[in-house]
Chain A
Amino acid sequence: MIDTTIKKAIILGSGALKIGEAGEFDYSGSQALKALKEEGVETILINPNIATIQTSDDIADKIYFLPVTPYFVEQVIKKEKPQGILLAFGGQTALNCGVELYRSGVLEKYNLQVVGTPVQSIIDTEDRDIFANMLGEIGVKTPKSIAAENLEEAKKAAQKLGFPIIIRAAYTLGGLGSGFCENQEELEKLASKALTYSPQILVEESIKGWKEVEYEVVRDKYDNCITVCNMENFDPLGIHTGESIVVAPSQTLSNAEYHKLRAISIKIIRRVGVIGECNVQFALDPNSEDYRVIEVNARLSRSSALASKATGYPLAFVAAKLGLGYGLHELKNSVTKVTTACFEPALDYIVVKIPRWDLNKFIGVSKNIGSSMKSVGEIMAIGRTFEEAIQKGIRMVGLGMHGFVGNKGEINIKEIEKELVEPTDRRIFAIAEAFNKGYTIDEIFEKTKIDRWFLQKLSNIHSIKKSLKEFNTFEELPLDLLKLAKKAGYSDFQVARMVLDSANNKIHEDLNRVRKLRKENGITPFVKQIDTLAGEYPAQTNYLYLTYNGSEHDIDFANDNKSVIVLGSGAYRIGSSVEFDWCSVNAINTIKQENYRSVMINYNPETVSTDYDSCDRLYFDELSYERVMDVVDLETPNGVVVSMGGQIPNNLAMKLHNQDVPVLGTSPIKIDNAEDREKFSSLLDELGVDQPRWERLSTIEEIHKFVDEVGYPVLIRPSYVLSGAAMNVVSNPDQLEHFLDMAANVSKEHPVVVTEFIEQAKEIEIDAVASNGEIVAYAISEHVEFAGVHSGDATIVFPPQKLYIETIRRIKKISRQIAKALEISGPFNMQFLAKDNDIKVIECNLRASRSFPFVSKVMKINLIEYATKIMLGIPVQKPDKSLFELDYVGVKAPQFSFARLLNADPVLGVDMSSTGEVACIGESYYEAILKSMLSVGYTLPEKNILISSGPSRSKIELLNSARMLRERGYNLYATEGTSKFLLDNGVENTLLYWPDEEGSTPNTLDYIKQKKIDLVINIPKNHTKRELNNGYMIRRNAVDFNIPLITNARVASAFIYGLCKYKLEDMAIKRWDEYHT
Chain B
Amino acid sequence: MLEVKKAKLILEDGSEFIGKSFGYENSVAGEVVFYTAMTGYPESLTDPSYTGQILVSTYPMIGNYGVPKDDSHNGVFEYYESNKVHISGLIISDYSFEYSHWNAIKSLGEWLKESKVPGLFDIDTRALTKILREKGSLLGKIEFIGEEIDFVDPNKENLVAKASIANKEVYGDGEHKVVLVDCGVKHNIIRCLLKRNATVIRVPWDYDFTKEEYDGIFLSNGPGDPEMCNETVVNIQKALNTEKPIMGICLGNQLLALAAGASTYKLKYGHRSHNQPVLLQGSNKCFITSQNHGYAVSPGTLPDQWEPMFTNVNDETNEGIRHKIKPFFSTQFHPEASSGPTDTEFLFDDFIENIKKSKQ
Contacts and interface: CB of A to CB of B under 8 A. Distances in A.
Contacts of A551: 17, 123-124, 127
A255 B288 contact: no
B313 A342 contact: yes
B125 interface: yes
Contacts of B65: 252-254, 453
B343 A467 contact: no
A934 interface: no
A452 B342 contact: no
A343 B39 contact: no
Contact of A340 (B1, B38, B277, B340): B277
A288 interface: yes
Interface in B326-359: 337-343
Q: Counting chain B CB atoms within 10 Å of each CB, which of A339, A344, A481, A554 scores highest?
A: A344
A554 B286 contact: no
Contact of B286 (A263, A266, A329, A457): A329
Contact of B314 (A226, A343, A344, A528): A343
A338 B312 CA distance: 13
A226 B278 CA distance: 12
Contacts of B39: 249-250, 253-255, 258-259
A346 B284 contact: no
A614 interface: no
Interface in A365-398: 384-386
A550 interface: yes
A483 to B, nearest CB: 10
A222 B285 CA distance: 7
A259 B124 CA distance: 27
A535 B130 contact: yes
A385 B61 CA distance: 7
A262 interface: yes
Contacts of B34: 535-536
A65 interface: no
Contacts of B338: 255-256
Contacts of A536: 34, 36, 58, 129, 133, 273
A287 B96 CA distance: 20
B343 A552 contact: no
Q: Which of A251, A254, A552 is most buried by chain B, counting CB atoms within 10 A of its CB?
A: A254
Interface in B109-156: 122-127, 129-130, 133
Interface in A411-464: 441, 451-453, 456-457, 464
B340 A259 contact: yes
B102 A343 contact: no
A284 B127 CA distance: 35
Contacts of A226: 288
Interface in A533-581: 533-538, 549-552, 554
Nearest to B103: A254
A484 to B, nearest CB: 7
B37 interface: yes
A609 to B, nearest CB: 25
B64 interface: yes
Contacts of B125: 348
Contacts of A259: 39, 337, 339-342
A792 interface: no
A190 B38 CA distance: 41
A467 B68 contact: no
A549 B273 contact: no
A350 B276 CA distance: 21
B61 A252 contact: no
B94 interface: yes
Nearest to A481: B1
A493 interface: no
Contact of B60 (A222, A255, A350, A456): A350
A773 to B, nearest CB: 49
Contact of B64 (A222, A224, A251, A287): A251
Most chain B CB atoms below 10 A, which of A224, A534, A549, A550 = A534
B288 to A, nearest CB: 6
Contacts of A344: 274-275, 288, 341
Nearest to B283: A222
B315 to A, nearest CB: 8
A386 B275 contact: no
B43 interface: yes
Interface string B33-60: 0101111101100000000000000111
B5 interface: no
Nearest to A350: B61
B1 A348 contact: no
Contact of B126 (A340, A484, A528): A528
Contacts of B38: 249, 258, 346-347
Interface in A222-253: 222-226, 249-253
B72 to A, nearest CB: 16
B99 interface: yes
B100 interface: yes
Contacts of A452: 98, 100
A550 B126 contact: yes
A480 interface: yes
A263 B288 CA distance: 12
Contacts of B130: 535, 554
B100 A456 contact: yes
Nearest to A288: B102
B275 A346 contact: yes
B99 A535 contact: no
Given A348-B58, A536-B36, A552-B124, A453 B133 contact: no
Nearest to A266: B343
A384 B99 contact: no
Nearest to B104: A254
B1 A484 contact: yes
A350 B96 CA distance: 14
B198 interface: no
Contacts of B163: none
B37 A224 contact: no
Interface string A747-761: 000000000000000
B11 to A, nearest CB: 14
Nearest to B129: A535
Contacts of B339: 255, 259
A328 interface: yes
Interface string B274-296: 11110100001111100000000
B93 interface: yes
B313 A329 contact: yes
Given A287-B102, A534-B129, A551-B124, A456 B285 contact: no
B195 interface: no
A343 B284 contact: no
Contacts of A256: 79, 338
Interface in B239-296: 273-277, 279, 284-288
A327 B102 CA distance: 40
A349 interface: yes
B101 interface: yes
A348 B286 contact: no
Interface string B7-38: 00000000001000000000000000010111
Given A340-B286, A350-B60, A453-B98, 6 more contacts: A225-B343, A340-B277, A348-B59, A534-B59, A535-B129, A554-B126
Interface of A: 222-226, 249-256, 258-259, 262-263, 266, 286-288, 327-329, 338-340, 342-350, 384-386, 441, 451-453, 456-457, 464, 467, 480-481, 484, 526, 528, 533-538, 549-552, 554
30 contacts: A222-B284, A222-B285, A223-B285, A253-B39, A254-B68, A255-B43, A259-B339, A259-B340, A263-B342, A266-B343, A339-B313, A340-B277, A340-B313, A346-B275, A349-B60, A384-B60, A384-B61, A384-B93, A453-B98, A456-B96, A464-B1, A526-B124, A534-B36, A535-B34, A535-B36, A535-B130, A536-B133, A536-B273, A538-B133, A549-B93
Q: Which 10 A-B pairs have the closest CB atoms?
A: A255-B40, A534-B58, A453-B100, A452-B100, A346-B36, A551-B124, A255-B339, A329-B286, A534-B36, A222-B284
